Amino acid sequence: MLFNQNDKGFYKKKTSLKLNGNLIDLSHPVVMGILNITPDSFYDGGAYTTDNSILKRSGQILEEGAHFIDIGAMSTRPGAIEITTSEELSRILPAVKTVKREFPEAYISIDTYRSDVVKVVYDEIGEFIVNDISGGTFDDHMFETVGELNIPYILMHTRGKSASMQNNPVYKDVVKDVILFLSSQLIKLKQRGVCDIIIDPGFGFGKTVEHNFELLNRLDAFRIFELPLLVGISRKAMIWKELGITPEESLNGTTVLNTLALAGGCDILRVHDVKHALESIRLVSKIKNSTK
């Protein structure tokens, strides 16, 4: 049997998320569409820097069926140059205001590791999901801020900032080490009163290609947290380096690995290609339902 349903009784995962006064059902996998408003992202850098292009991309993400739009104003790819807080805000604020004005009911996620950015954006648009690639390690005030604002938080694992994260990352056991880090940070988050937490193993952040495939192969280990699990492997180097192709040629590989992530218990797929991710979800769900 490809997808084993016999383990349902051993744990009880949190299957909802509160945002904008609504309870979002995560009992069935959903998609988070990526909107990079950066000039230097690894795949679509520079493609969405005007109001028209931002609105077109946002509309596409929603029309294709994504639950969330994840907006990032600073590239965090390995080797990316860190920009200032003021520059990040100068990019993110016009974009989020434009999106919320045109799509007021849209659920927004903001890809940032700075608490000051979180505060300013919250004052402008209200609630959103904080997608922090650092897991609270780059800004000592992040957990406090998220707790005070009472907004959802994506807790991701990384090792070092973009400029150095890929400098020979070493783990005794990458899965165990990532779980230990997430466990430690979860305690701190809960002490700050943060209730809506999503777990992200951090594919491609401070990890070799081999580390990434080990994480994917043992993804079910993250069920121990009983929290929604996000996987972001869309067009990443673990795909195109392994296949000897480019990010632009990596859609098929992304779909294959997204399917395996769903089999491993993923609840949210963070992707560039929403339509294809939802097709994977639909087919995997069909198989799972047929085994009940």
Residues belonging to the active site: 236, 270
User: Distances in Å between the alpha carbon of 134 and those of 19, 165, 277, 278, 290?
Assistant: 22, 11, 25, 27, 39
Q: Which amino acid is at 154?
A: I
Q: How far apart are CA 250 and CA 273, in angstroms?
A: 11
Tokens of 250: 């990596």
Residues 6+ apart with CB under 8 A from 69: 32, 33, 35, 58, 61, 62, 99, 103, 106, 107, 108, 109
* Distance between CA atoms of residues 101 and 277, nearest Å: 27
Place of tokens 């990434």: 212
Question: Residue 49: how many CB atoms within 10 A of its CB?
Answer: 14
Q: Which two tokens stand for residue 52?
A: 């028209």
As beta bridge partners, residue 30 has: 268
What is the per-residue burial (b if ≥16 Cβ within 10 Å, else e) of 14-23? beebebeeee
Query: Distance between alpha carbon 155 and the CA centroid of its chain, in Å?
Result: 9
Token pair belonging to 53: 């292009």
Question: Between helices 174-191 and 209-217, what is the axis angle to 10°?
Answer: 70
Exposed, middle or buried, 242 (CB in 10 Å: 0-12/13-18/19+)? middle
